[in-house]
Chain A
Amino acid sequence: MVLEVVDATKEFVGVKALDGVSFSVRPGEVHALVGENGAGKSTLIKVLTGVHRPDSGQVLHRGEPVEFHRPLDAQRAGISTIYQEVNLVPLMSVAANLFLGREPRTRFGLVDRARMHAEAAEVLVGYGIHDDVRRPLGTLAVGAQQMVALARAVSADAHVVIMDEPTSSLEPREVETLFSVIERLHERGIAIVYVSHRMDELYRICDRVTVLRDGRHVHTGPLADLPRIELVSLMLGRSVGDIREHGATAFSEEHHAGAEPLLRAEDLTSGRRLAGVSVSIRPGEVVGLAGLLGSGRTETARAIIGALPLDSGTVLLGGKALRGNVGAAVRAGVSLLAEDRKAEGIIPNLSVRENIVLAALPRLSRFGVVSRARQDRVVETFIRRLRIKVSGPEQKVAELSGGNQQKVLLARWLCTQPKVLLLDEPTRGIDVGAKAEVQALIDELARDGLAVLLISSELEELLDGADRLVVLKDGAVVSELVGDRLTRDHVLSAIAAGES
């Protein structure tokens, strides 16, 4: 084994990002690392590259226990990483970026530009880059920049290269170049850890696969022996160690939906992310969006509320078009609970009260002056109704646990008295108890006549919670499941099917 992690555990304030995960890479193999959001892929990579140190467990490098204190330690040991976003210096030349930190010197200790440019040009041709290496890196296409990053990583005497979703910003032609580069590395005996959720790519270039879910190791084995549907099942299956029978979630069986759709999104198209998605939700109905990471689930929700610019498509609420402006959508009664609680949800330095009333401020004020009494009444109601555990409404929201923060955000949307709720991963990263409460709440809201769009990476949550499932792949609807067809197998085969 060239690089190995044994029984690593890493905890971030109350959330186990890695729970006893073991992972090993053989020399010269292309090892796929897969899992949904929150599975622990990024944390594992950060442990391998010295960004994080595991709370317990060991990192072995060529069989020897090592401790990487900084990313530089890992780099020196020959472990290179290429991240999704290019992290090079856009204003410096291509060649300078390639040699950053190890520039060839002249006898007088100055940078030997002539040699640097010549060597850079020679190296980069192998990566399909024929541009002038003296150009600023930022003037290259994103794909080409990524190639420079790759060339830089590999030329630094790496024997393990970790690629975190390297193709997410590449054009098809560039993907081919990347694959041929990977092929060459493979021949040179360099091990590659390949993180991606694109099935076709995985099966084309990877030898073995490791699946993580909820911070735990689920499976490692040769990829060729593993049918696609099995792999998808491993990624989405029910939580490990949480194996219970049907009804493990707090959802009840069914809702009584109205006849006419309340929200109708038609032909949503946005760049390469959405290719004509249509979804409609009736009042009292929970519609689930299924699909792998990057299939367009989040983008669909963002497009509906107007936070994602559309190339074409319309969103109708009760027959009236929404103007593609979030403020107008919120006023009309559509709310989005965002996937990333920290980045797009809570306002950390404000109190629980202020976080709850934020979206409803105009309704809680007269002539622009907010009424504290009305705020207090609303906040008290929701703290009690959602059983938010706080020391008081003035506690800072940043001090709450993930589950309680999520309830604060749900309260924020509920006090706007919405008609349509778009819930993007409402139970991610919260503890089991809070999860059941959130699920029961979603149920209750649907029974009260709300139209709910539920996005989840957990198949069980979707199957139990949704009345109808829309399956997305590559930004398009591939299947719509309802009634008897609302089963695990149908969803998995819809996702695993090669063509959309």
Chain B
Amino acid sequence: MTAATWDRAGVARWLQEYGVYVAVAGLLLFNIAFTTNFLSVGNFRTQLVQAAPVCVVALGMALVIGTEGVDLSVGAVMALSAAVIPLYLGYGALPSIALALVAGLIAGMFNGVLVAYLGIQPIVATLALLVGGRGLALVLANGQLVQLHDPAFLFLGTGDVLGVPVGVFAAALFSVAVALLVGRTTFGRHLVAIGGNRAASVLAGVPVRRVLIGVYAICGVLAAVAGVLSTARLGASDPADVGLLMELSAITAVVVGGTPLTGGRVRVLGTVMGALLMQLVRATLIKHNLPDSTAQMAQAAIIVGAVYLARERSSR
């Protein structure tokens, strides 16, 4: 970058592009220097495990936001998937997980149809499921928390794969998969084109509606995955509480990661880093004995900053 581009807009652009990496690196350095017991394997495992569900949901959210949409129903879909698990856990861990994911798929396709075929604004279309989804989940679960005892299922919450917690492993796997989906497939390129200029995509023969339904379906499935992971870690299905406010955390991770809300661009690694950043902020403040409410305010400040940078960029 040359000296001439170091004007305000240039700085803003650079920060939107790389700010999340700088912030994560900065926080890591700060904690290594000032936080006791930060630099331990156990602590890193904890941080990653806690960030994993947000990360998985945020990946789906990034796809939806890339099409100039938003999915407010992800938390409710997590609850739905959590509610489905104890109903079918008797048949084994795999069938119950599969059905939980199917629930997420159906929920996502429902959103997609509302957006793509009925032309309802995404924020309104997914609001319906935000409200109704958790209600349905509570009905399925009779409004109760159910303790789970299936060891194969609980392994998802406590076990390791190649020395990595299952949830973290899954999040990493999905990150790579979504990155490939966006970068290397016709579906991914179509998705980005739709977000960039929908009218032009229509004229280019892009199957806009099909792609939109696919995007919301993927987002629903990923939310269901997060619901399964959270349930396994808790050792209980708790549809009243699982995934509460998850939509906000996921949107935050996406936006902080540099994906513009105006669509046309999906930053997968940035989204993963965004999820990590928000987790690190909370952990840092908690470890320094500041209450959770302070962490929330810090998160709010970061969101405002990220959105401000994005605004600078678009008004250029």
Contact = CB atoms under 8 A, between A and B. Distances in A.
Contacts of A217: none
A349 B206 contact: no
B192 A338 contact: no
B204 A412 contact: yes
Given A330-B205, A361-B186, A368-B186, A344 B199 contact: yes
Interface in A327-360: 327-331, 336, 338, 343-350, 354, 357-359
A365 interface: yes
Contact of A350 (B192, B199, B202): B192
A345 B193 CA distance: 11
Contacts, number: 78
Interface bracket on B? 20 to 34
B184 A370 contact: yes
Interface residues of A, number: 31
B181 to A, nearest CB: 9
Contacts of A327: 205-207
A345 B201 CA distance: 8
A369 B184 contact: yes
A361 B205 CA distance: 10
Given A338-B203, A361-B190, A348 B197 contact: yes
Contact of A336 (B203, B206, B265): B203
A358 B189 contact: yes
Interface string A216-233: 000000000000000000
Chief secondary structure at chain A's binding surface: helix
Nearest to A328: B205
A247 interface: no
Given A338-B200, A370-B185, A370-B189, A349 B205 contact: no
Contact of B196 (A329, A330, A350, A359): A350
Chief secondary structure at chain B's binding surface: helix
B185 A365 contact: yes
A257 interface: no
Interface string B197-227: 1011111111100000000000000000000
Which of B189, B197, B200 has the most chain A CB atoms inside 10 A of its CB? B200
B265 A349 contact: yes
B88 interface: no
A406 to B, nearest CB: 13
Contacts of A331: 205
Contact of A347 (B184, B186, B197, B207): B197
Contact of A326 (B185, B187, B192, B203): B203
B264 interface: yes
Contacts of B197: 343-348
Contacts of A358: 189, 193, 200-201, 204, 206
Nearest to B202: A326
Nearest to B188: A370
A475 to B, nearest CB: 21
A305 interface: yes
A354 B202 contact: no
A346 B206 CA distance: 14
Nearest 3 interchain pairs by C-beta: A330-B205, A347-B196, A359-B204
Interface of A: 305, 307, 326-331, 336, 338, 343-350, 354, 357-359, 361-362, 365, 368-370, 372, 412, 416
5 contacts: A305-B203, A327-B205, A338-B203, A358-B206, A365-B185
Given A338-B200, A344-B197, A344-B200, 15 more contacts: A307-B203, A347-B200, A354-B189, A357-B189, A358-B201, A358-B206, A359-B206, A365-B186, A368-B187, A369-B184, A370-B184, A370-B185, A370-B189, A372-B184, A412-B204
